[in-house]
């Protein structure tokens, strides 16, 4: 039972790290990357739909994205959604679809994105700490019910802290990589 709790907590912490990584991938870094459009949802016939479900997204050039809607009538809705987003890119509608030219970032924009990355990293760390808190609450409940000893509880709390520290370190490593990517000119 205790082993199941520990494994579940480790798995939930892994998921928090993966969610943070996916979040980091949506930040634009000066290079075209289709993942940066994942957070954009389009109002398509009254339903908020992810852009990647409405169109094919490709990278014809290192600093350009090409969005080819499956339904040509969705082109204007996609264009509006991109303009409303925090990407800071003006879409260009042409005959084949929508082109996004990724401009090189200003130093000010880089600093804004780095602040956002730090905030998202902290959210990831908070999620990991919440998993640790839940685990320790469960362990204390087991100790109260006399299913584990007080010494066992202390040992398991230390183990939980060790696992937490490892996962937080992973988030910080991902943050450092993203910071370096954003600082790259």
Domain residues of the chain, as ranges? 2-25+106-183, 34-101
Tell which residue, 137, 135, 130, has the closest CA to residue 5.
135
pLDDT digits (tens, 9 = 90+) for 57-99: 998 888 889 999 998 888 889 999 988 887 778 899 987 789 9
H helix count then E strand count, the chain: 4, 6
Answer yes or no: is pLDDT of 185 > 70.
no
Spatial contact of 114 and 122, defined as CB atoms under 8 Å apart: no
* CATH 2.30.38.10 is right for the domain spanning 2-25+106-183: no
Question: What does CATH list as the number for 34-101?
Answer: 3.30.1360.40
| 34-101 and 2-25+106-183 share a CATH fold | no
Return the percentage of the chain with pLDDT > 70, whole number: 98
């Amino acid at each position: 039972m205790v082993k199941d709790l520990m494994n579940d907590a480790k798995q939930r912490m892994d998921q928090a790290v993966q969610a943070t990584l996916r979040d980091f991938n949506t930040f634009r870094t000066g290079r075209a990357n289709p993942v940066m459009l994942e957070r954009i949802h389009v109002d398509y016939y009254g339903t908020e739909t992810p852009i990647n479900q409405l169109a094919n997204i490709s990278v014809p050039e290192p600093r350009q994205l090409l969005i080819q809607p499956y339904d040509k009538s969705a082109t204007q809705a996609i264009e509006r959604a991109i303009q409303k987003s925090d990407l800071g890119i003006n879409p260009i509608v042409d005959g084949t679809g929508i082109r996004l030219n990724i401009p090189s970032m200003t130093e000010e924009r880089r600093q804004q994105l780095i602040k956002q990355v730090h905030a998202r990293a902290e959210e990831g760390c908070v999620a990991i700490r919440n998993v640790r808190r839940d685990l320790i609450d469960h362990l204390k409940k087991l100790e109260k019910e006399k299913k584990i000893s007080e010494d066992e509880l202390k040992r398991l709390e230390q183990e939980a802290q060790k696992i937490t520290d490892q996962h937080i370190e992973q988030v910080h490593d991902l943050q450092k990589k993203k910071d370096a990517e954003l600082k790259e000119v």
